[in-house]
Amino acid sequence: MKLKRVLLVLSFWLTFALQAASAQSIRVDFLRCEYLTDPLGIDNTHPRLSWLLQSAQHGAKQTAYQILAGTTAASLTEGRADLWDTKKILSFAQNQIKYSGKELNSRQYCYWKVRVWDENGKVSEWSKPAFWSMGLLQAADWKAQWIGEKPITQQRWKTEGVKLHSGYQSEMIDVADQPQSVTIDLGSVQAFDEIKLYPASPVDNKLDGFMFPVRFYIEAASDKNFSDAVKIVDKTATDVVNPVTVAAVYPVVPGKVRYVRLTVTKLTRSPFYDTKFGFALAELQVNSGSKTISTGAKVEAKDPYEIERFGWNRTFLTDGILMKMEMPPFVPIPLTPAPLLRKEFDVKPAIKHATLYVTALGVTEVTLNSKKVGEHILAPEWTDYYKRVQYQTYDVTGMLAANRNAIAATLADGWYIGPMFPLPDRGANGYDRRFLAQLEIEYDNGEKQTIATGNTWKMNTDGPLRRASIYNGESVDASKNQMGWELAGFDDSKWQEPTVDNSVKVILSAQMNEPIKALQEIKPKSVTKTGEDTYVYDMGQNMVGWCKILVRGYDGDSIRLRYAEMLNDDGTAYVDNLRGAKPVDYYIGPKESSIVIEPRFTYHGFRYLEIKGVKVDLPLVAVTGKVIASSVANTGEFNSSNKDLNQLWKNIWWTQLGNIYSVPTDCPQRDERLGWMGDAQCFSETSIYNMDMAAFYKKWMRDIMDSQRPNGEYADFAPSMAYDQTLYNAPGWGDAAIIIPWNLYQYYGDKEVLKSNFTSMRKFIDNIDKLNPNHIWQKATGLRYGDWLNGNTIVDKDYPKYGGQIPDDVFSTAYFAYSTGLMAKMAKVLGDDAAYECYSNLHNAVTKAFNDKFVTADGIIEGDTQAGYSLALSFELLPVTLRKKAAEHMLNGIKKYDNRVSTGIHSTARMMNQLSEYGYNDMAYKLLESDRFPSWLYSIRQGATTVWERWDGYVKGRGFQSVGMNSFNHYALGAVGEWMYKVIVGIRPDTTSPGFNRFIIHPQPGGSLTSASGSYQAISGKISTSWKLTGKAFTLQTTVPVNTTAVVRLPVKGGLTENSLPVVRGKDGIVSSQKKADYWEVVVGAGTYNFKVE
């Protein structure tokens, strides 16, 4: 009995000890492959693996790992792993670990697991197994054929014998009052008595009287140098009335002339670029009696805007074509219903695996036996269709029925055929919708079966989806439904055989980014009746996706769903700012007791849903908003004692969510929605804090490379469209191809994104260097958007008209220097010594040129703008001795604007960062918390639930800004989220330790805040902070993930404790502690810490 009691006691303590040891041991979870969880059908044969670690032990670390990989889960034991056994690897690495096992083949399944050793040499349990599968790696693996409707053979443009003609347009500059001139040479001295100026109209827009000169004078001379010039027309005193569509006629005193010079003293603001000014004419005509003597005259001008695609050329000023020649008509593609495709097939018992590979030119939804395959929406998503299309891989083993089955697909326009900016009609990238699918079945006995698209399929071209467009919504005629068409046994004898198209030549790449999915559902907050059968539902949130509605007692009449971000004063939907987009879904069909209306092949940006055509009131529960976006994971959290800042963070988050549709778009609602690179690079750090953007950006970087010109120029947006080859190489836009990979390296430790894109980046920088030997970026600049939407674009009588725009050369050269400096850093990371030396030297040369040309001895930068100082300081372009002085100039620039911003999308967040960097945190907080116009909180006061494109998108008392460009869901100015994470929450990367292996915790209280908290799910683990000011005490709780180190900085005033005890090196994860001039610095390992300073 005594022995039993002893054994029981020993058993109890042994169990307790094992449980305690287990509680302290390190654990491995969240295994991922190429940033994805258990991805199917990847095409990287050496994918990178990662995992997270969990431990309750302070200072817990990984010191070694072992990975097993095998062809089955059962093979994952030591000695049996038939693909890869790393054995014990001494390493702290827990991500970016490249698979280096046996060669991987098409279709192969790879199961893997990992264990690690901690700082005490104790080994963890094995993780739960994860897996990935390989896609179709070789072109020969594809047995499927592209199928669809008969090809459309019409030409996209009727260009034969047609000359694109808008006229002459001057160089676009930053100010309206800098004179510009153009001269024509008649070839000999001739008599004349009249001048006519014909207004221009761009071939690609209906803008009559386009940029007609506001004030000007005209001189006549016989001498080329105008030494004998006579001013024959003078319209400089008052603004000239734009003649719009007729010539402005100016009789002159008869005389003789050879040279005629038009000098414009007041330029016209561009309707496309608010900060640019110039002038345009269709023709400058010189007459003598009834005879025109200027036709064919030589034209001389400084750097005119000449782009053949848009019909602008200096020679057009005197070519005798007096008005624009219309754009050669874009031949509209017939608007045909979305084709339906189907195929029946038989299967045998004992299926081991069934895998479906699918893609399309267009967008598609596939069903097996009437059930949708996967959760993907708008697959295969958007790429540069002239280079590449993504395919998706689905495991459909559980979807197959015994014996007879049916596979079916609906094929809609998507980004491929639908209208895309700036093209208003269908056919942006191609004419013919095409579908490709390959179903591979493997049986237990090893037998294989393939069902592939080809001429044995059936097609119906008169289905219920009459129209489907990304920009213009859907139209459904339910009377065209054929019940059961997605099921086996359906009579498709009247369906036609599809066309097999062997002309499609495009790279098929596996989708390795998170698919677009339905992520949330939102119910409306209220409904207002605005007409006899019209209702407006307020979703309470500006969102992106569509609405699903349930209508009972449907009478067969047409129902219209129209989407809007804002309301007119009368409560109706405001859609003027959507330009050419038609955000409307239509439904018509036979009478039914109830119907459900829900689109599938479009998306809308909206807060308000207007329903027209319903005969009975629809209750709020009958309407459901579907939030649609790329299904990236959330990684950031923010909360503070200021509810307005909490709303601002929510607005930023919602804006980002609404603009990730496989590419980072500028807006989700108007006829644009493009992957503008300038906007994306400015917002990229904020986006990474908010969401896991690694796989998303990796995919988009490939789109950028696919759209690059042979000479190295990058498109201003990617994917680009082949029909529009003009928008390339804009400073601050092309640079995104360098800046974003660098940020991916900093945040995720991703060297591969640097390596795979480095050659492309070199071409971009080398081209700029070759064409600008003086190291001032003036040539090969594309369109000079500059610091887009800066203060100069704000329309308000109480706000300065000028003073916000950085001079073009300052802006472009700043980016040239910055990108070149990043190239040097990347070369060093990649171990390319020659490239490092090359770009280090170039960076130094460009930086010197910048300072020599634009910076005075006391640190004043040409233009003296808030934005100019912001970029120069952020890019570290100034000598160290001038940086503090430049920061003072930046501060004074803010004060000149009465403590308001004048910055645009490139400089606003960077200015906030530099204010905090140089000790002006109080001003940064003042700008952030201000609700005066213009400010972030001003829009919130107007009810905004997303970030606006413009500071002045809507101004109380003035109304809406220009309908030409006024989105209310635009993330660029939301880049301040980066500052909120770095300064308020206090989580920031350590640039010497990519991937957040070591990072900085440094919250900086200010403004009205008494508390704040937040977190960031880094690739190395979740980092969190929570701080509070109570009286004279500052408390900070922070959690540091396993296997990482944090440098914690706290206010220096007062004594410092951790968990109410003195901070002692070596105790409970404390690595070191040091009191510096401005803060306490404590270096800690993994664990949760409670610091207090008082």
Q: Which residues are catalytic?
A: 672, 949
DSSP string of 591-606? -EEEEEE--SS--EEE
d(CA 850, CA 702): 32
Give the end-to-end CA distance of the chain in Å, rounded to a whole number.
60
Instruction: Name the 3-class secondary structure at 788.
Output: coil
Nearest by Cα to 273 from 758, 768, 789, 872: 789
- Are the C-beta atoms of 31 and 58 separated by less than 8 Å? no
In the block, which residue shows the tokens 């700012």? 577
Encode 14-31: b = buried (16+ Cβ within 10 Å), e = exposed. eeeeeeeeeeebbbbeeb
Give, as one character, the DSSP assignment of residue 147. E
- Are the C-beta atoms of 71 and 81 separated by less than 8 Å? no
Q: Where would I find the beta strands (DSSP E) of 370-464?
A: 371-372, 388-395, 403-412, 434-443, 448-452, 458-460
Encode 755-788: b = buried (16+ Cβ within 10 Å), e = exposed. eebbebbbbbbbbbbeebeebbbeebbbbbbbbb
Give, as one character, the DSSP assignment of residue 897. T
Instruction: Name the 3-class secondary structure at 945.
Output: coil
Encode 314-349: b = buried (16+ Cβ within 10 Å), e = exposed. bebbbbebebbbebbebeebeebbbbbbbbbbebee
d(CA 434, CA 454): 11
Give CA 587 to chain center in angstroms: 32
Query: Measured between alpha carbons, how far is residue 514 from residues 511, 633, 699 in Å?
Result: 8, 9, 10
d(CA 442, CA 678): 48
- Are the C-beta atoms of 415 and 470 separated by less than 8 Å? yes
The one-letter code for the residue type at 158 is K
DSSP string of 685-710? HHHHHHB--HHHHHHHHHHHHHT--T
- Are the C-beta atoms of 644 and 929 separated by less than 8 Å? yes
Residue 140 tokens read as 């020969």
In the block, which residue shows the tokens 């020679």? 315
Give CA 704 to chain center in angstroms: 11
d(CA 535, CA 1042): 54
d(CA 1056, CA 1047): 15
Instruction: Give the Cβ contact number of residue 564 at 10 Å.
Output: 25
* 957: exposed, middle or buried (Cβ count in 10 Å: 0-12, 13-18, 19+): exposed
